Amino acid sequence: MMANFDDLWTTSQPRMHVLSDSTDIDSLRRSVPVSGGVVVKFDGRLMRTARAFFAEFVRELRFPEYFGWNWAAFAECITELSGCPARAYLLVIERADLLLVDSPADREIFFRLIKDVSSEWANSFGLGPEWDGGEVPFNVVLLCSDEARMQLEGDAGCRR
């Protein structure tokens, strides 16, 4: 039986979710409720520093060549995603307790910024005329061990 992941595909809050690392990624992929929705998987082990974090986002979301490798450039590119257009986004970060762990200030920036980005996608007509406009669900799933869950929820400012 597949778990119900409907709340991961809405434009309502919360848009950041901390789930057990036993969550089945294939089930998340199969849960896409709209044609043109995407699930993009990241691994926190590969994103311990800001530079490594940016490299993964550049690769997975096909940021443009002019990406500036800083948070302002990240904010600009993550709200456009012209290299990865979709009707809904679900970013899944496995081992999220290791995300930016070597750079706590950058970790804090990411959590704050991604909430703003999710809100912008959800509250604007992010899709252009070629998609008939519309609000865009943009949610983030942080997967971690049960032992790391409370700490990660606190760091990410997630409600339970």
Find the range with the poorest average confidence among 110-119, 122-131, 146-155: 122-131
Specify the pLDDT at position 120.
86
- What beta strand segments (E) does the chain contain? 16-20, 37-43, 88-94, 138-144
| Sign, CA torsion 125/27/42/156 | positive
Tokens encoding 137: 């669900």
Q: Over the stretch 68-125, which tens digit does the pLDDT of each residue have? A: 999 999 999 999 888 888 888 999 999 999 999 999 999 999 999 999 998 888 876 5
Domain layout of the chain by residue ranges: 15-156
Specify the pLDDT at position 9.
86
- Gap between the Cα atoms of 91 and 138, Å rounded: 8
> Considering the chain, what is the average pLDDT of its residues?
88
Distances from the Cα of 146 to the Cα of 14, 45, 126, 154, angstroms: 20, 17, 35, 14
Relative to beta strand 37-43, strand 16-20 is unpaired
Q: Mean per-residue pLDDT for 129-139?
A: 70
pTM for the whole structure: 0.89
> CATH number for the 15-156 domain, one of 3.20.20.70, 3.40.630.180, 3.40.50.300, 3.30.420.40?
3.40.50.300
User: What confidence category does residue 129 fall into, taking pLDDT thresholds of 50, 70 and 90?
Assistant: low
| Position 133 pLDDT exceeds 60 | no
